[in-house]
């Protein structure tokens, strides 16, 4: 039986709107043999916030799936490689206290656990070559490596505004998505409580079967019209402010870090993201623990002290305010919220864009064949997205909960177990005696796998006696062999991988890999 056409209207552009439209069009668009007509309406007068400049490795599959060339991403979006995150001064106040959360799994991860043979302080360096590769400023692949493949696992850093514009062009020119530029004046409700149409200031009536609300924190449909409540998570994750600034490189040849650098301060943390043309930096903090003036002074002092910036006082700093939390449900009737309309928490561990990816992917997968099946899709979507939000909030809180910092009320409050999610308290109790496992997480494919928890637990010095370790892990000889393999890989990668900036410049210039003769 032929499917009836389904019209989908995405309200709002930016990364949320255009990424959702792209994933839906690539799978269900009419010009791809699907049954959906997809349009995006965005205001010409509302700039995108563009906080999220870092991604999780899942973005590679997302972009491959929508047919966007990786070389185009680097050419048009000021993109660079991201191989993980580097955390400084999170465990203690010391600037020498640092650890990596690399994107590559520990070597031999599905065979045995190397942690029993390795101390906590150098865990990431011992179980994967990636931490040392990042220290050396090397890329995760070679020029000859196929698009979206890598010698080491990686995601991206990019200019979020340019990324949205690149997606818009790809959606319109390649995926058959209609683009409408208009101001929305009001939402027209249907008799059954659904959304019937959006009315523009120019007098257009835009009707659809499914509305995707990507209107940002205003939540024009999901919040203002449907009245879906906001669930605050401020009692768990306190941060509700951010200061953002663009910082020039010291020179055109300056190295580009292939990790997000995250440095903890007394009342928050600073991100540092290296792009080919600049560095994107920001300070995330909580208004309950410091005022805006003090926060800005602390941030500028950090810029001058740590970033070789002599004119920090002259840099234009932009303040962002947000309420940490999410909607009680995300798909109500024939409206589903994505991006900041659905929720927002601090951008630690590239969580903002990752949540957009997860939301858009689930809409694509649960999209009903008929309008009368919308309720089933909504129920399943809400169940999975609520689990994803809980999981991400728990993982971000883990970074704070294990700190030994006591230099401010901010850190003392974060360390207090009464501010931890119950699931985190339970897991930490179990992880005193065994490693995190898949069974500890409710969803089949969590954004942060158990290996990610291992990197943070070891990096933060959380003790585990491994009393409940699997018997197969108690094999010192095999573990030593695996650890030696990591060091052999590292030596090989050091000889064969180009510098991060070098590879990026080759991709942008269109350079072709050299073919060895003979």
Binned at pLDDT 50, 70 and 90, residue 466 comes out as: confident
Over residues 196-222, the pLDDT tens digits come to 999 999 999 999 999 999 999 989 999
Over residues 258-285, the pLDDT tens digits come to 999 999 999 999 999 999 999 999 999 9
Question: What percent of the chain has a predicted confidence (pLDDT) above 90?
Answer: 79
Separation of first and last alpha carbons in the chain: 57
Better-predicted residue by pLDDT, 499 or 308:
499
Structure tokens at 186: 């009001």
Q: Are strands 230-232 and 241-247 parallel, antiparallel or unpaired?
A: unpaired
* pLDDT confidence of residue 417: 97
d(CA 256, CA 501): 6
Average pLDDT, rounded, for the chain: 92
Binned at pLDDT 50, 70 and 90, residue 475 comes out as: confident
Over residues 18-59, the pLDDT tens digits come to 999 999 999 999 988 899 999 999 998 866 655 558 999 999
Binned at pLDDT 50, 70 and 90, residue 308 comes out as: low
d(CA 21, CA 39): 8
Residue 310 has pLDDT above 70, yes or no: no
The contacts of residue 288 (CB under 8 Å, 6+ apart) are: 238, 240
d(CA 281, CA 137): 19
* pLDDT confidence of residue 518: 41
Burial 353-364 (b: 16+ CB within 10 A, else e): bbbbbbbbbbbb
- CA nearest neighbour of 201 among 218, 182, 178: 182
CB 284 within 8 Å of CB 271: yes
* pLDDT confidence of residue 472: 60
* pLDDT confidence of residue 513: 76
- CA nearest neighbour of 401 among 350, 451, 445, 453: 453
How is the chain split into domains, by residue range?
6-53+159-231+324-383, 241-321
Residue 339 has pLDDT above 50, yes or no: yes
* pLDDT confidence of residue 477: 83
Pick the CATH number of 241-321 from 3.30.70, 3.30.310, 3.90.550, 3.30.465: 3.30.310
Question: What percent of the chain has a predicted confidence (pLDDT) above 70?
Answer: 94
d(CA 462, CA 454): 10
* pLDDT confidence of residue 517: 46
Over residues 71-128, the pLDDT tens digits come to 999 999 999 999 999 999 999 999 999 999 999 999 988 777 777 665 545 899 999 9
**3-state secondary structure labels for all residues of 353-406:** HHHHHHHHHHHHHHCCCCHHHHHHHHHHHHHHHHHHHHHHHHHHHHHHHCCCCC
Mean pLDDT of all residues in 504-510: 94
Over residues 414-450, the pLDDT tens digits come to 999 999 999 999 999 999 998 898 888 877 678 899 9
- Name the packing angle between helices 374-401 and 450-459 (round to 10°): 20
Binned at pLDDT 50, 70 and 90, residue 153 comes out as: very high
Class of the 6-53+159-231+324-383 domain? alpha beta
């Amino acid at each position: 039986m032929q499917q009836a056409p389904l019209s989908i209207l995405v309200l709002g552009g930016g990364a949320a709107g255009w990424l959702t439209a792209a994933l839906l069009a690539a799978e269900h668009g009419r010009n791809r043999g699907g049954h959906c007509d997809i349009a995006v309406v965005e205001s010409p007068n509302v700039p995108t916030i563009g906080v999220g400049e870092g991604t999780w490795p899942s973005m590679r599959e997302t972009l491959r799936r929508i047919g966007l060339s990786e070389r185009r991403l680097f050419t048009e979006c000021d993109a660079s490689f991201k191989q993980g995150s580097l955390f400084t001064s999170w465990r203690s106040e010391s600037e020498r206290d640092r650890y990596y959360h690399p994107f590559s799994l520990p070597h031999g991860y599905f065979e045995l656990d190397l942690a029993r043979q390795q101390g906590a302080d150098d865990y990431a360096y011992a179980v994967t070559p990636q931490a040392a590769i990042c220290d050396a400023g090397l890329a995760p692949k070679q020029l000859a490596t196929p698009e979206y493949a890598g010698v080491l696992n990686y995601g991206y850093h990019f200019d979020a505004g340019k990324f949205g514009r690149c997606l818009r062009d790809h959606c319109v020119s390649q995926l058959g998505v209609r683009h409408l530029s208009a101001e929305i004046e009001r939402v027209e409700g249907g008799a059954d409580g659904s959304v019937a149409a959006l009315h523009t200031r120019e007098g257009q009536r835009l009707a659809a079967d499914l509305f995707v609300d990507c209107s940002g924190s205003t939540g024009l449909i999901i919040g203002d019209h449907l009245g879906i409540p906001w669930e605050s998570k401020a009692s768990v994750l306190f941060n509700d402010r951010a200061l953002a600034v663009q910082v020039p490189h010291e020179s055109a040849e300056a190295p580009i870090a292939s990790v997000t650098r995250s440095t903890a301060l007394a009342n928050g943390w600073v991100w540092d993201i290296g792009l080919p043309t600049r560095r994107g930096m920001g300070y995330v903090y909580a208004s309950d623990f410091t005022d805006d003036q003090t926060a800005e002074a602390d941030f500028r002092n950090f810029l001058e002290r740590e970033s070789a910036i002599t004119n920090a006082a002259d840099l234009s700093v932009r303040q962002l305010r947000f309420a940490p939390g999410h909607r009680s449900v995300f798909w109500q009737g024939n409206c589903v919220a994505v991006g900041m309309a659905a929720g927002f928490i601090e951008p630690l561990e590239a969580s903002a864009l990752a949540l957009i990816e997860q939301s858009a992917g689930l809409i694509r997968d649960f999209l009903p064949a008929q309008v009368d099946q919308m309720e089933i899709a909504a129920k399943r979507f809400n169940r999975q997205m609520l689990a994803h939000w809980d999981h991400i909030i728990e993982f971000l809180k883990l970074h704070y909960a294990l700190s030994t910092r006591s230099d401010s009320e901010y850190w003392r409050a974060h360390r207090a177990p009464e501010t931890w999610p119950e699931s985190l308290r339970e897991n930490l109790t179990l992880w005193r005696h065994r490693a995190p496992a898949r069974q500890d997480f409710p969803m089949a494919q969590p954004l942060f796998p158990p290996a990610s928890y291992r990197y943070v637990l070891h990096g933060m010095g959380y003790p585990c006696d491994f009393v409940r370790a699997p018997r197969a892990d108690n094999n010192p000889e095999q573990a030593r062999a695996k650890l030696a393999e990591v060091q052999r890989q590292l030596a090989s990668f050091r000889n064969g991988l180009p510098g991060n900036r070098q590879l990026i410049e080759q991709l942008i210039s269109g350079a072709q890999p050299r073919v060895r003769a003979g």
